[in-house]
Amino acid sequence: MKLTKPYISFQEIYAASRILKSGNLTQGKASARFESDICEYVGSKYAFVTSSATTGLHLSLDVLQIGEGDEVIIPDFSFPATANSVIKVGARPICVDIDLKTFCIDPDEIEKNISEKTKAIMPVHAFGLCANMPEIMKIARKHNLRVIEDAACAIGSTINQQHAGTFGDCGVYSFHPRKLITTGEGGAIVTNNDELSKLIGISRSHGGVRAELFFEFIDSGYNFRLSDINSAIGIEQLLKIERIISARKKYAEIYNILFEGNSLLTTPSVPEGYSHTYQSYVVLLSKGVDRNFIIRELKKLDIESTLGTYSISSQPYFKEYSAHKKISVPRSNFAFAQTLTLPLYPGMKRRDVTTVASALLAILDKKYGKTL
């Protein structure tokens, strides 16, 4: 059983083939329509589709003029793309610890790590659950910091009905095949800031603006654009997003019920007022449970599973990169060692969820008994 499968049907295939047949393959009507649909769905004023979420983060940092000598506070528990985007604009990522209940950045740790070099906070909405954005925005306003939301996993996630990605200066979504909706590869930046929107539009496309007959290049820039082929797929995917979220929530709740009362694992926590989309269903195994052993045993049963995500500061490159500052991230390190992601996708059946849960519980019982 696969960890996840994108929810693709004939609509996406037809939409992509229609663009291919038209001969207008990039930055045309489909991309403009997809951007408009994203704005309508998440409630942002502007949206810009990009070649990936990583390029979206890079571009966001760049237009906010964050670079050499600056520091950006990020959660240590995230995919390295979060840190990579900071490094690639010349700034330094400052990895801080997380809240183990949500796997998101701990606002108290943000406050502790602000220095005169800090220019921005980049919270990550982990696995489809928003970070504590009300508290993060208070901190940002207090210290006059920019906020770039790494919402790669979180399109559709909300706090009190406000969408992930719309709290800070800008937010970035991913449309990788492991995410809620996919364009194959791709991403999007959303913002409500008029000036930022102009800068993003220019920088995303080589620093050019369209004049009467051709482009004029008024700045240096990038080619971080998304093709109309990808955008056409995204339009169809976005139409299905509420159906996708509903299915994920249903199966996550079945997992929660089946795991209830087991002392060897903790199921996902959802704070009041938050909406979890379960881009990944991630449990936290108790201390002493060998997560990698569990992954290997599930694989023998043809069930794919994996870690939650990485402790960035523990990875070889970032360990050396962070040597200038003592980093204490015990909760991130624990999550890196003890999180387990289980199969979850709309195409599953109830019996598939039961099969996975039963297999995991049987492995835990055989190896560890009822408790440690």
End-to-end C-alpha distance for the chain, whole angstroms: 29
Lowest mean pLDDT among 17-26, 165-174, 237-246, 268-277: 17-26
> Where would I find the H helices in 153-270?
194-204, 228-239, 241-259
Give the Cα separation of 279 and 299 in Å (integer). 21
10-239 fold: Aspartate Aminotransferase; domain 2 (3.40.640)
Q: pLDDT of 285-327, one tens digit each?
A: 999 999 999 999 999 999 999 999 999 999 998 877 665 567 8
pTM of the predicted structure, to 2 decimals: 0.96
pLDDT for 352 = 98
> Where would I find the H helices in 89-132?
107-112
pLDDT at 372 > cutoff 80 = no
pLDDT at 282 > cutoff 80 = yes
pLDDT for 26 = 87
Q: Tokens representing 336? A: 């890196």
| Sequence ranges of the domains in the chain | 10-239, 242-368
pLDDT for 371 = 66
The class of domain 242-368 in CATH terms is alpha beta
pLDDT for 324 = 58
> What confidence tier does 190 reach under pLDDT thresholds 50, 70, 90?
very high
173: region left, alpha or beta (phi > 0 left; psi from -120 to 50 alpha): beta
> What is the average pLDDT value for the chain, to the nearest integer?
96
In sequence order, the 6+-apart residues with CB closer than 8 A to the CB of 369 are none
> What confidence tier does 210 reach under pLDDT thresholds 50, 70, 90?
confident
pLDDT at 370 > cutoff 80 = no
Q: pLDDT of 216-238, one tens digit each?
A: 998 999 999 999 999 999 999 99
In sequence order, the 6+-apart residues with CB closer than 8 A to the CB of 71 are 91, 92, 93, 94, 115, 117, 118, 119
Q: Tokens representing 326? A: 């003592």
**Any idea what the Cα angle at residue 224 is, between residues 219 and 228, rounded to 5°?**
125
